[in-house]
Structures are given as structure tokens and as C-alpha cells.
Amino acid sequence: MGMNKTLALVSGANRGIGLAIATGLARRGVHVLLGCRDLGRGEAASAPLRAEGLQVWPVQLDTTDDGSVTALAARITQDFGYLDILVNNAGIGLDYAPMLSPVQRMEQTLAVNVVGTLRLTEAMVPLLVESKQPRIVNVSSELASFKLHSDPSWAYADIKLPTYQASKAAVNSLTVSYADSLKEKGIKVNAICPGYTATEATNFSGSRTPAQAAVVAIHYALLDDGGPTGAFANEEGELPW
């Protein structure tokens, strides 16, 4: 594949918001690597998209596993030699997991949402450096906003998900740090909030569809050179930290 083809990797992409992001990017002409822990599920998710003529291919990816991440980086290096877009979408929420203690919830959530994001980003930066327009999009949540939580009139003021919120606040912090450290390499790094979305993760209780949720992620993945870096935003604009 030549450098004229935009290449994206989306983690946690065989269902829900991740699949919607991958689909939206592919429909804009992007070649998408569909990161998924189970290749069988990834193949099932991507086959209908390829039947549409879209370039979507499943790749094995467990962001909590050094071996998995290292192997994928090596494969992308061998097959392409570059990466244009990284969407850190893989994430979990365990605040309502009754069989886990608070410490276990936090440890397992941070392992995926924060350490996994860090692990995958570190592995892909050498490939992103080879891109002419490299972008990193971290899927966060407005539930991580300290300012919004201090407003009793905020629509989600009564929602208490301390473990999930803490993990996404850490993702926001990583976003700011990476935006600064990678600026000289030309890599734009932003955090987005997809909104309260009807997926398996929310027991399909959200008010938005995955396709709606994906819009803001796709926008930041395809930012032109005049776009921001180090931002935290939803589709309506920037969010307070």
C-alpha cells in the first residue's frame, strides 16, 4: 500500500462506538484496521463492511497484553511502515460489577482505560511519526470533567461512576501530556466525548446511536493541519476539564 492511502487503527472496534468509528472512517476512504481481542468477532463485524467495498480488516489486539500490542506494531511496520490515525477506543466500566471490590474495579479499569491507552500509544508513535498527517483520538467522557461535576444543574450531576470517571480523567491528563510531547513530531492528540450511547456497555440505555457517537471521533481523526491539539470536546464544541 502506498502512502497515498490513509491508514487507521481503532481499538475495541468489533462492536458499539468503536465499530461505528471504524465504519465511518472507512466510508470516507480510510483503510481501517479493526482492533479486537477476538479475531472471530472482528471478522464477523468487518465482513459486511468489506461486502460494501470498504477496506476494513480485523487485527488481534488486547491493549492489556504487551505481546499483543508489540506483535501488532511489528505487523503494521512490516505491512505498511506507517500509521496515520490511532483511535484509542478500547475501554471498560466496572462501577456496577458487584462481584468486584472497589480496589479490583479500579485496578481492572485503569489497566484497560489508562495503561492500555498508554501502551498502545507508545507502540504506535514510531509509526505515526512516518505519517504526513498523524492523529491520535482518545475516547473519553464528559463524566471526567471536574468543572461539570461541580455544577448541580448539569444534566449528569447525579450520575456517580467514581472508577470510570477517574479513569477517563486520567485519559484526559494523558491527552494533554501527549499533545505537548508529540507536538514537535506533528502528531495532534485530542480527547473526545461520544455522549451517552446505546451500546452493550450501557445495557443499551443510552440516548444516542453508535453512529451519532462516532461523528466527533471521526472529525478529530481527520483534522486538517489547522485543527487543535490537546483539546477535550464533544460534537458541540470544547468541554471543560
Q: What is the mean pLDDT of residues 208-233?
A: 93
* Residue 197 predicted with pLDDT over 80: no
Nearest of 222, 165, 212 to residue 190 by alpha carbon:
222
Q: What is the mean pLDDT of residues 161-190?
A: 97
**Which of 77-81, 93-97, 209-213 is predicted most confidently?**
77-81
Nearest of 8, 2, 48, 59 to residue 29 by alpha carbon:
8
Give residue 230's identity as a one-letter amino acid code: G
Nearest of 104, 129, 133 to residue 221 by alpha carbon:
133
pLDDT in tens, 106-136: 999 999 999 999 999 999 999 999 999 999 9
Q: Has 164 been annotated as catalytic?
A: yes
- Burial label, 150 (beta-carbon count in 10 A; 0-12, 13-18, 19+): exposed
* Residue 2 predicted with pLDDT over 80: no
When the pLDDT of each residue in the chain is averaged and rounded to a whole number, the result is 93
Q: Which three cell numbers stand for residue 88?
A: 484509542
Domains detected in the chain: 7-238 (3.40.50.720)
Give residue 26's pLDDT: 97
On whether the CB atoms of residues 163 and 106 are closer than 8 A, the answer is yes
- In angstroms, how far apart are the furthest CA atoms of the chain? 52
Contacts of 66 (CB under 8 A, 6+ apart): 119
- Kindly name the residue from 96, 156, 164, 178 that is annotated as catalytic: 164
